């Protein structure tokens, strides 16, 4: 088993090595910070034209996770699009790819700071949602039993830095799932202060690796 299982406020969770969170009891798969259309936004704003393949790369990865878990519900936890214009400019092939993933399951777009409005791509648009004992929103609040994203946490282990879940008894901050995303070290005060002393980081990669957040 390459994922890491734990329980948050009575809800069983699995951190997948891809950076997705799987809630087996609710049949819910959650991914955060896809930043689809980032290359489009950068080209529009700066003239720099990055390889325009990040949407495909990200959706291919999501398709693998959906194939493996067959979720009843998918939650995209905000910043799914790099901005609303980028959401509007997804090409036909990628729109088809996305709707094939959406077929036969509930699809929730949580509002993020990059994509604060509804998109024309199927699914429901919400600012937050409750699943079991947990609430899902883009940016962490002081509430407990909370799953959020936004900070793109990364953690360094044995000299390597990788995107990571950060988890304690009260909350989860999800790693960024999108192909073109950077990250912020878990130990930076911005992230560290959200968690209690017994927090752990779960590194993504070949296998989900949990380490204490010293």
Partner 1 sequence: MPDATRHLPAKFDAWFAGRGWLVHPHQQAMLDRANDPALLLIAPTGGGKTLAGFLPSLVELADGAHQGLHTLYVSPLKALAADIKRNLRRPVEDMALPVRIEDRTGDTSYTQKRRQRADPPHILLTTPESLALLISYEDAPRMFAGLQRVIVDEIHALAESKRGDQLMLALSRLQTLAPGLRRVGLSATVEDPPAIARMLARHPDPCPILLADPGPAPDIAMLQTDAPPPWAGGGANYAIPAVLEAVKQHKTTLIFHNTRAQAEIFFHNLWLANTDDLPIGIHHGSLAREQRERVESAMVAGQLRAIVCTGSLDLGIDWGDVDLVIQVGAPKNVKRLVQRIGRANHRYNAPSKALLVPANRFEVVECIAALQAVQAHDLDGDPKGAGPRDVLCQHILIAACAGPFHADDLFDEVCSVGAYTGLTRADFDACLDFCATGGYALRAYDRWKRLLQTADGKWQLRDPRAALRIRMNIGTIQDTDTLKVRLKGNFKPLGEVEESFAATLTQGDTFLIGGQIVRYDGLREMTVEVTRDASKTPKIATFMGTKFANSTQLSQRILRMFAQDDWPQLPAHTAAWLGLQRQVSKLPEVDRILVESFPHDGRQHICVYGFAGRNAMQTLGMLLTQRMEEMDLQPLGFVATDYAVLVWGLKPVTDAAPLFRAPDLRAGFETWLSGNAVMKRTFRGAATIAGLIERNLPQARKSGRQATFSSDILYDTLAKYDPDHLMLQITREEALRGLVDFGRIEEMLARTAGHVDHVALDRVTPLAMPLFLEQGRIALAGAGRERLMEDEAAALMAKIGLPAD
Contact 174, 77 (CB under 8 A): yes
The nearer residue to partner 1, 22 or 151, going by C-beta atoms, is: 151
Instruction: Report the residue from 9, 12, 27, 50 that binds partner 1 according to the rule CB under 8 A.
Output: 50
Instruction: Report the residue from 179, 186, 194, 195 that binds partner 1 according to the rule CB under 8 A.
Output: 179
Q: Is residue 92 a contact residue for partner 1 (CB under 8 A)? A: no
User: Quick one: which segment of 21-29, 45-53, 67-75, 126-134 binds partner 1 (CB under 8 A)?
Assistant: 45-53
CB of 55 to partner 1, least distance (A): 10
The nearer residue to partner 1, 80 or 129, going by C-beta atoms, is: 80
CB of 60 to partner 1, least distance (A): 10
CB of 116 to partner 1, least distance (A): 17
Instruction: Report the residue from 64, 91, 122, 124 that binds partner 1 according to the rule CB under 8 A.
Output: 91
Judged by the rule CB under 8 A, the positions of this chain that interact with partner 1 are 1, 4-5, 39-40, 43-44, 46-54, 56-57, 89, 91, 151-152, 157-160, 176, 179-185, 190, 198, 200, 203, 206-212, 214
């Amino acid at each position: 088993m390459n994922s890491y299982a734990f329980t948050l406020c009575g809800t069983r969770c699995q951190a997948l090595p891809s950076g997705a969170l799987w809630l087996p009891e609710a049949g819910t798969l959650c991914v955060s910070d896809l930043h689809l259309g980032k290359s489009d936004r950068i080209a529009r704003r700066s003239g720099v034209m990055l390889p325009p393949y990040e949407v495909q790369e990200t959706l291919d990865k999501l398709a693998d996770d959906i194939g493996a878990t067959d979720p009843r519900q998918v939650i995209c936890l905000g910043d799914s699009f790099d901005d609303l214009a980028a959401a509007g400019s997804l090409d036909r092939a990628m729109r088809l790819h996305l709707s094939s993933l959406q077929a036969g399951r509930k699809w929730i777009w949580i509002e993020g700071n990059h994509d604060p409005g509804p998109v024309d791509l199927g699914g429901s648009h919400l600012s937050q949602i409750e699943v079991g004992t947990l609430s899902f929103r883009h940016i962490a609040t002081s509430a407990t039993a909370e799953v959020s994203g936004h900070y793109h946490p990364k953690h360094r282990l044995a000299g390597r830095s990788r995107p990571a879940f950060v988890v304690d008894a009260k909350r989860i901050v999800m790693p960024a799932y999108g192909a073109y995303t950077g990250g912020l070290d878990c130990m930076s005060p911005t992230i560290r202060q959200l968690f209690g002393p017994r927090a752990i980081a779960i590194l993504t990669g070949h296998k989900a690796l949990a380490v204490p957040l010293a």
